[in-house]
Amino acid sequence: AQSVAQPEDQVNVAEGNPLTVKCTYSVSGNPYLFWYVQYPNRGLQFLLKYITGDNLVKGSYGFEAEFNKSQTSFHLKKPSALVSDSALYFCAVRDGVDSNYQLIWGAGTKLIIKP
Amino acid sequence: GAGVSQSPRYKVAKRGQDVALRCDPISGHVSLFWYQQALGQGPEFLTYFQNEAQLDKSGLPSDRFFAERPEGSVSTLKIQRTQQEDSAVYLCASSPGREQFFGPGTRLTVL
């Protein structure tokens, strides 16, 4: 069965420090992996994706994520956190067959950046 | 460019009323999804369209929920005889292929 785990409900980071939001997954085939961010009273905004190629993927707002096949992980990272990065972050995965359209979502991680 | 838009942004309904939620996807996007999202949780899949065809409605919680996309563009999610448990944010997303792009959502509150 396909699944996504975001093991931390909340991550607290001081402004200017590096941040990591963790995600692990389970799919039967090659994964398509996604990160989305949700600000209060807003919809989900696409941050970045891994489909194939380089394991390090760069996305919007200075975020990046590293695909690790052996650890089945796709952790979201940023070298220097901003207070404005505070939001709810969702990891999602789907089986990498284009006919498989359904995304499996993690439960979300609340990121709090303190000044 | 224009993103996915949804209307209304907020809807308050009395229990038993019917509601209709509209989604305008990004022009040219073949795929359209509806999700239900409870506060602080991830989206729960409701239904999927490819053009005007509803290919998957397995996530619709009851037969009170109905979605359509008659011309393969705008979609409407209708909820009949609303119940308090229907209170949630309803998200629409469109996709050109792999990633999905979301609208701002409609927050439905059933009193």
pLDDT in tens, chain A (115 residues): 789 999 999 999 999 999 999 999 998 888 999 999 999 878 899 999 999 889 999 999 999 999 999 999 999 999 999 999 999 999 999 887 766 688 999 999 999 999 9
Torsion sign (Cα): B3, B7, B8, B10: negative
**pLDDT above 60 for B1:** no
Residues of chain A numbered 19-48 and touching chain B (CB < 8 Å): 32, 34, 36, 41-46
| Mutate which: A42, A44, A97, vs B, most B CBs within 10 A | A44
> Distance between CA atoms of B53 and B71, rounded to whole angstroms?
9
Q: State the pLDDT at residue A95.
A: 83
Contact status of B57 with chain A (Cβ, < 8 Å): no
As a whole number of angstroms, the distance between CA A48 and CA A29 comes to: 20
Segment B56-74 mean pLDDT: 95
Query: Residue B42: closest CA among chain A residues belongs to which residue?
Result: A107
Determine the pLDDT at residue A86. Answer: 96
Give the mean pLDDT of chain B: 95
| Cβ–Cβ < 8 Å for A48, A60 | yes
3-state SS, residue A30: coil
